[in-house]
Amino acid sequence: MTTASPAVSARRRRIRTLATVTLIAALSAALVGCSSGTAKSGQTTITLYNAQHEQTTTALIKAFTAKTGIAVKVDNDDEDVLTAKIEQEGSRSPADVIFTENSNWLQQLAGHGLLAKVAASTLAAVPPADSAQDHEWVGVSARVSAMVYNTKDLTASQLPTSVLDLADPKWRGKIEIAPSETDFWPVVSSVADTYGRARALAWLKGLKANAGANVVPDNETIVADVNKGVAQLGIINHYYWHRLVAENSASSIHSALAYFAAGNAGYIKTISGAAVLKSSTHSAAAQKFVAFLVSHDGQTAIANSESFEYPLAPGVAANSADTPLNQLSPSGFTSAEFGTGAEAKKLLQEAQLL
Amino acid sequence: MGEGLASVTRPRGARRGGRSRALTVVVVVIGVLLLLPLIAVIADAQSAGWSEISFVLFRPRSATLLLNTLALPLVVTPLAAVLGTAAAWFTERTALPGRRIWTILVVLPIAMPDFIVGYAWHTIAPTADPFAAAVLVMTLSSYPLIYLPASAALRRSDPALEEAAHSLGLSSTRTFFRVVLPSIRSAILAGCLIVVLVLVSEYGAFEIVRFQTFTTEVFTEFQVDPNAAGALSIPLVLIGILVVVGESLVPVPRSSARPGMARPSLVELGARAIAVAAGFAGLVVLSVGVPVGALLYWMLSSQHTTLPAQATVLQATLTTCEYCAGGALLAVLLAIPVAVLSDRRRRGLALVVERSTYLTLALPGVVIAVSLIFLALRFAFGLYETSWLVIVGYAIITFPLALSCVKTSVRQAPAELTAMGRSLGRSGVFVFLRVTLPLLAPGLVAGFCLVFLTASTELTATLVLQPPDTVTLSTQFWAFQSETAYGAAAPYGLVIIVLSMVPGTLLAIWFDRLGHRQAKASNQ
């Protein structure tokens, strides 16, 4: 092997060195430049750990900042992730407020002593049964569990009247479930409360067998799949179907929403709520934000958004696409009964669904 | 001068002892840093307690997951090996029309994020069997990992042997199996091991096609039950150790290149050329055309979504570039000392550090990310939720890739040249800048490209590590994709592909040149 020929390659090498050094310098500069963000001074900023759908929160935050001048920094993630994050961060958590889709995660945080009490005037804005009994979180919106079915494959009269029927072998290969989505957990918990643990476990095993490969990560996938005919029937919360309708042209909707028989264990109302963290360094502003969520303005923002969840404050009408809540007849299952959701999780794990 | 000559002929002379020791210390520190996530996994699993570990690990679901995790590599790796090797042979040894263009086109699938390939096929065939879909998607996206080393090995191997076989009356087919294949076998095996590691730690594509493995399960468990996730990573670490041990059993690809090596005479394909070219075109259409086509289709179908975008395409692109360039720079910088030490001493410490970093390839990105968060919360709160953590995460995840490129260059840069520079009385810094760095430059740029490319398609670690308020192209694509807002996701996906095409193409060219340079070097 010989070394390079003198003059030409020496020059080429010098150019190459120069190029490499320049490249590294430019990249370092770009990096430093990019990472030094500037914050607006003189304005209070609270950090919101948001697990609610951004469809719901974007309008809310905008309205809140317009009204109070308090800026909101949002960290969007799944509710389980944000809960685990707060537990890991402990007293150093940057979060001031957490807003979840399901109440169990708030209850879990309350159990670990990480939440502050919500102001009494805030709690008074919504029915007491829809907030934490120990005042550590406030209910913001309600959702109702429902069936979505493909209208080409099924008619309303063919639908099961009880959630237990879905474990029947006649539904093999026809249903789709999303067990890792917390929205499904209150249904599991309600079935266990109504029929006992053993029957609930057997029911879950039946569901697993019937779903086969159609075990998916979330309700958005269930509605899309049922609409496409990948599966005939799925259990979701009502608003997922309304969002599907809002996102697609009428001609491409081949699905409909239906409910189990009145009071059935699979027909429940669940609560999405918010809480102020005990570790919050802006607790006054954080309390203001939570109060805004249940205020007339906040609740109206929810009703007018593409969230399709039910506002909880009396006197605020739901989105006109929704069936009014007082025309539905869910069972009496409450968020207090749902608790931290630990029992539902354990059952799902035992059924090998999680 | 005499002393200088001595150091040229005796590069491991006594005077270099001190510098060598310093290098060793640096390498050890780098090794420990890179293995921190592994230590955190062990700590995490330990804190969960044995009963928790045994509950999540020893149940029927784990058996299903284990079966899936192992069955996929068993099917995909041979398929990718056949495709990759065949493509390499045709581009290196036959008079295939448009050879140079194919050498770039067949490498392009590495610029396709697996989750986009998965998305494309899933939107085409939503009811496909999960296993079949996973096999298709992963074969199409991983065969270049075999093609690259196989074609490089072909360029290094001496065609005289093949010609001798020919002249003894062996057919092209028999020559291939009796002469060519044995000479590139170790390169193919090395590629296969990387494929296995990629398959074991893949998340996005499997989540989309609904194929459940330990990695997808770990990601789910990190959400619902973080304690269990540490335990579920244990099988992945074990698989990683097995693969790394397997890798150390594969002999180092030995070049049969020799001075005066002739250029190979190319096999004339005749009428078969059309069939082969069609095969190549088909492969490129399936692996590149389909994903790009699906993205364009969804983009043009302008489906409405109720989910607001967290960042515009431009914002997400800038964020992605910042993180990826940072990660690539860090990974390459860390790789230099390890590569230099491992080149000087093929055994011992450097080898241990080098091999152990491969373990991170088997770990899902999310495990590394969660470990970094665990460490940042305890020991470096200032870094928590900053871009730096993403950059460090990328550097750890991609370190083995950076190392492989840098090592190739270090191996080609004769230590004698550096020693000679020093013997001429130049300072260490001067020699590094004027001699070592230019010699390494192509490898550093290639390493940078490979890391940038891999990082821009990274998903799970980014999901966990990205600071609030920022999204990258891949995480915004994922957010839309998981809400089945395929139309809104598509532009982000297309930009990822365009962005990674640049380093992807540079890389393909580097590999191409590398072979030719090696062949030329042996000719001189």
Element holding A71 (H helix, E strand): strand A71-76
B210 closest CA partner among A76, A230, A228, A187: A230
**Residue A112, pLDDT score:** 94
Q: Which chain A residues in 58-97 lie under 8 Å from chain B, judged by CB atoms?
A: 58, 73-76, 78, 80-81, 84, 88-89, 92, 94
Record: contact A74-B469, CB cut-off 8 A = yes
**Residue B501, pLDDT score:** 85
Record: contact B468-A74, CB cut-off 8 A = yes
Q: Which residues of A touch B522 (CB under 8 A)?
A: 1
Residue matched to tokens 């699906």: B294
Q: What confidence category does residue A53 fall into, taking pLDDT thresholds of 50, 70 and 90?
A: confident
- Selected for mutation to probe chain A from B306, B310, B513, B517 (highest A CB count within 10 Å) is B306
- φ, ψ for residue A310, nearest 5 deg: -85, 125
Q: Are B30 and B24 in contact (CB under 8 A)?
A: no
Q: Quick one: residue B125, left, alpha or beta (phi over 0 = left, psi -120 to 50 = alpha)?
A: beta
Mean pLDDT of chain A: 88
Query: Which residue of chain B comes nearest to A252, CA vs CA?
Result: B303
For the cut 70, the answer to whether the pLDDT of residue B198 exceeds it is: yes
Report the distance separating Cα B486 and Cα B492, nearest Å. 10
Query: Which residue of chain A comes nearest to B332, CA vs CA?
Result: A24
Q: What confidence category does residue B4 fall into, taking pLDDT thresholds of 50, 70 and 90?
A: very low
**Interface check B444 vs A, CB under 8 A:** yes
Record: contact B438-A1, CB cut-off 8 A = no
Of residues A84 and B285, more confidently modeled:
B285
> Looking at the partner chain, which of B212, B310, B381 has a beta carbon nearest the beta carbon of A92?
B381
The DSSP call for residue A256 is E
Structure tokens belonging to residue B238: 């074990």
> Looking at the partner chain, which of A24, A75, A224 has a beta carbon nearest the beta carbon of B484?
A224
Q: What confidence category does residue B257 fall into, taking pLDDT thresholds of 50, 70 and 90?
A: low
**Residue A23, pLDDT score:** 54
B511 closest CA partner among B190, B145, B214: B145
B336 closest CA partner among B406, B400, B435, B395: B406
Radius of gyration of chain A (CA): 25
> Looking at the partner chain, which of A84, A220, A221 has a beta carbon nearest the beta carbon of B226?
A84
Record: contact B441-A225, CB cut-off 8 A = no
Report the distance separating Cα A166 and Cα B374, nearest Å. 41
Q: What confidence category does residue A258 fall into, taking pLDDT thresholds of 50, 70 and 90?
A: very high
Residue A11: half-sphere exposure toward Cβ, Cα within 13 Å:
2
Q: How would you label A277-314 residue by residue, b for 16+ Cβ within 10 Å and e otherwise?
A: bbbbebbebbbbbbbbbbbeebbbbbbebbbbbbbbbe
The DSSP call for residue A73 is E
Query: Which residue of chain B comes nearest to A95, CA vs CA?
Result: B468
- Selected for mutation to probe chain A from B223, B225, B332, B462 (highest A CB count within 10 Å) is B223
Q: Which chain B residues in 207-226 lie under 8 Å from chain A, judged by CB atoms?
A: 207, 210, 212, 220-226
Q: Which of A149-163, B10-24, B176-190 has the highest mean pLDDT?
A: A149-163
Judged by average pLDDT, the poorest of A64-68, A83-87, B228-232 is B228-232
Structure tokens belonging to residue B212: 């459940």
Residue B492 vs residues B30, B446, B484: alpha-carbon distances, Å: 34, 25, 14
Q: Are B226 and A84 in contact (CB under 8 A)?
A: yes
**Residue B414, pLDDT score:** 67
Report the distance separating Cα B99 and Cα B76, nearest Å. 26
The SS3 assignment for A345 reads helix
Report the distance separating Cα B458 and Cα B392, nearest Å. 13
Residues B357-390 have pLDDT tens digits of 777 777 778 888 888 888 888 888 888 889 999 9
Mean pLDDT of chain B: 82
**Residue B1, pLDDT score:** 34
**Interface check A213 vs B, CB under 8 A:** yes
Residues B344-366 have pLDDT tens digits of 765 677 777 777 777 777 777 88
For residues B160, B162, B168, B171, the Cα torsion angle rounded to the nearest 10 degrees is: -160
Judged by average pLDDT, the poorest of B7-11, B137-141, B450-454 is B7-11
Non-local (6+) Cβ contacts of B323 within 8 A are: B387, B390, B391, B394, B455, B462, B472
B482 closest CA partner among B291, B221, B307: B307
The SS3 assignment for A97 reads strand
- φ, ψ for residue B380, nearest 5 deg: -145, 65
B144 closest CA partner among B70, B210, B198, B71: B198
The SS3 assignment for A233 reads strand
B215 closest CA partner among B393, B68, B40, B53: B68
Chain B: closest CA distance from residue A240 (Å): 10
**Residues paired with residue A142 on neighbouring β-strands, in sequence order:** A271, A310
Residue B512: half-sphere exposure toward Cβ, Cα within 13 Å:
16
For the cut 90, the answer to whether the pLDDT of residue B511 exceeds it is: no
Query: B242-248 long-range CB contacts below 8 Å, 24 or more apart?
Result: B243/B193, B243/B196, B243/B197, B243/B200, B243/B358, B243/B362, B244/B355, B244/B356, B244/B358, B244/B359, B244/B362, B246/B193, B247/B190, B247/B193, B247/B355, B247/B358, B248/B355
Q: What confidence category does residue A26 fall into, taking pLDDT thresholds of 50, 70 and 90?
A: low
Chain A: closest CA distance from residue B387 (Å): 7
ipTM topping 0.95: no
Q: Which chain B residues in 492-511 lie under 8 Å from chain A, judged by CB atoms?
A: none
A207 closest CA partner among A225, A187, A224, A223: A187
Q: Are A136 and A120 in contact (CB under 8 A)?
A: no
Residue matched to tokens 């492969």: B283
B203 closest CA partner among B479, B451, B459: B459
> Looking at the partner chain, which of B210, B377, B445 has a beta carbon nearest the beta carbon of A89?
B377
**Interface check B17 vs A, CB under 8 A:** no
For the cut 60, the answer to whether the pLDDT of residue B326 exceeds it is: yes
Chain B: closest CA distance from residue A325 (Å): 22
Q: Which residues of B touch A225 (CB under 8 A)?
A: 126
Residues B276-288 have pLDDT tens digits of 999 999 999 999 9
Q: How far is CA B516 from the centre of its chain?
A: 22
Sign of CA dihedral B495, B499, B504, B509: positive
Report the distance separating Cα B150 and Cα B192, nearest Å. 10
Q: For every residue of A109-177, which 3-state class applies, written as one string?
A: HHHCCCECCCCHHHHCCCCHHHCCCCCCCEEEEEEEEEEEEECCCCCHHHCCCCHHHHHCHHHCCCEEE
Residue matched to tokens 């969660």: B370
Query: Which residue of chain B comes nearest to A228, CA vs CA?
Result: B126
> Looking at the partner chain, which of B212, B220, B306 has a beta carbon nearest the beta carbon of A55?
B306
- Selected for mutation to probe chain A from B54, B64, B207, B224 (highest A CB count within 10 Å) is B224
Q: Quick one: residue B169, left, alpha or beta (phi over 0 = left, psi -120 to 50 = alpha)?
A: left
**Residue B302, pLDDT score:** 64
For the cut 70, the answer to whether the pLDDT of residue B16 exceeds it is: no
Report the distance separating Cα A216 and Cα A301, nearest Å. 31
Chain A: closest CA distance from residue B145 (Å): 27
Share of chain A above pLDDT 90, in %: 69
